[in-house]
């Protein structure tokens, strides 16, 4: 296929969480410590879950299905000035793909219970990838760009309707 | 839109790397320490890069464009038995989306120089997200599931043609 061709992705399941609206939702897993949700994997994909329960943490790729417009510059929740969307985790990105790392609590057949969930209820799930410390731990002195907030500030921050 | 509807994603650029074929390519950024590549962002998306250079590390989401089939069970490079695809980082996943964390060396206009690249030359880039230690550092005692390899083993492992 041509490298510029659009990529078509079929959801593999639905993410269920306590967050029914965007108001007051945590903006990152750090702000959702202990909040549980479930992943309901569609039957055609259940076989792909084999052994996923051996991992304690997983990445979720999902569709920001409530974002109705794209923006190349945004004012992030954690900031007061405009940034390029690729310097933020804003939902208004061209791909509309979200990435969150969550704790995997248990698997029962096609249902995974997850913890530290910062995702809207009903969000389409596109992929699950195991978090592998040997692959995924980046440099411990990585710089946080414009984000000077400490973990407590991130944890306390809540969503609003700016990114719908 | 319906939660099961396919999601259509337009590439935002192209990833250029020294790896012209899948043979002998590192399988993870850990095995590609110091290997440099570039991200060429297409003109309509360049504005979204503002301030990305403030971050030292970024996540890349990209399309495994050479994977020609999907498989729900695979034998990963690091293993000898079949695992569910969602318990692996195999390209044969239903989404065909890859995730790599890389070091951001510099930005010159629409071109980002990156380091620790484990990606095939010519790969379509779907998204860039800043790596934010406050958001993204997961539990330090996360379990690695079936992957018992230490960092040196991962670094030494090379790709072959099993996932085309």
Which among A45, A96, A73, A86 is positioned nearest to B8, based on CA atoms?
A96
Instruction: Report yes or no: B40 at the A interface, CB cutoff 8 Å.
Output: no
**Interacting residues of A37 by C-beta distance below 8 A, sequence separation 6+:** A15, A16, A17, A18, A113, A114, A115, A117, A119, A121
Instruction: Report pLDDT digits (tens) over A84-121.
Output: 999 999 999 999 999 999 999 999 999 999 998 989 99
Q: What mean pLDDT value characterizes chain B?
A: 87
Å between B123 CA and nearest CA of chain A: 7
Do the chains contact at B8 and A12, CB–CB below 8 Å? no
d(CA A126, CA A105): 20
Question: Mean pLDDT of successive 10-residue segments in chain A (164 residues)?
Answer: 84 95 74 89 98 94 92 86 94 95 95 94 97 74 69 66 68
Distance CA(A55)–CA(A58), nearest Å, equals: 7
pLDDT at res. A61: 98
Judge whether A73 and B52 are in contact, CB under 8 Å: no
C-beta separation of B119 from B16 below 8 A = no
Give the per-residue pLDDT at B163. 66
- A61 and A98 Cβ atoms separated by less than 8 Å: yes
Interface of B with A in 53-72 (CB under 8 A): 54-57, 59, 61, 63, 65, 72
Output the pLDDT for position B160: 72
Length of chain A: 164
- Could you report the per-residue pLDDT of B92-102, keeping only the tens digit for each? 999 999 999 99
Residues 6+ positions from B2 with CB-CB distance below 8 Å: none
Please write the tens of the pLDDT for every residue from B31-43: 778 899 999 999 9
Contact A47 B84 (CB under 8 A): yes
The model's pTM is 0.90
From A8, A127, A147, residue closest to B8, measured CB to CB: A8
Q: Which two tokens stand for residue A23?
A: 């108001």
CA angle B114, A131, B12 (to 5 degrees): 40
pLDDT band at B119 (very low <50, low <70, confident <90, very high): very high
* B48 vs A8, A50, A86: nearest CB: A86
Cβ of A145 within 8 Å of Cβ of B52? The answer is yes
**Rounded distance between C-alpha atoms, residue B97 and residue B11, angstroms:** 12
Structure tokens at A147: 């984000």
- Cβ of B145 within 8 Å of Cβ of A93? The answer is no
Across the range B146-162, mean pLDDT stands at 67
Instruction: Report the alpha-carbon distance of residue B59 to residue A161 in Å, rounded.
Output: 25
Other beta carbons within 10 Å of B51: 19
Q: Of A3-17, B1-15, B17-31, B44-58, give the lowest mean pLDDT range.
A: B17-31
Question: For residue B8, what is the nearest residue in chain A, using CA coordinates?
Answer: A8
Predicted local distance difference test score (pLDDT) of residue B149: 59
Residues B145-157: what's their mean pLDDT?
66
Instruction: Return d(Cα B101, Cα B99) in angstroms, integer.
Output: 7
Q: Which of B51, B94, B147 sits opposite A12 (nearest CB)?
A: B94
Q: Which residue has the higher pLDDT, A133 or B112?
A: B112
Residue A41: its pLDDT value, please?
98
Q: Token digits for B149?
A: 């390899």
* Per-residue model confidence (pLDDT) at position A77: 77
Residue B3 has pLDDT above 80, yes or no: no
């Amino acid at each position: 296929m041509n490298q510029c061709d659009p990529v078509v992705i079929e959801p593999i399941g639905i993410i269920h969480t306590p967050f029914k609206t965007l108001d007051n939702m945590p903006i990152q897993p750090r702000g959702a410590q202990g909040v549980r949700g479930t992943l309901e994997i569609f039957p055609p994909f259940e076989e792909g879950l084999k052994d996923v329960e051996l991992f304690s943490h997983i990445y979720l790729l999902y569709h920001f299905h409530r974002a109705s417009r794209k923006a190349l510059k945004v004012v992030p929740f954690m900031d007061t000035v405009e940034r390029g969307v690729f310097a933020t985790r804003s939902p208004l990105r061209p791909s509309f793909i979200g990435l969150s790392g969550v704790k995997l609590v248990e698997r029962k057949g096609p249902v995974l219970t997850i913890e530290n969930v910062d995702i809207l209820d009903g969000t389409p799930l596109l992929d699950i990838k195991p978090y592998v410390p040997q692959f995924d731990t980046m440099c411990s002195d990585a710089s946080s760009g414009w984000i000077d907030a400490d973990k407590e500030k991130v944890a306390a921050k809540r969503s609003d309707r700016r990114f719908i």
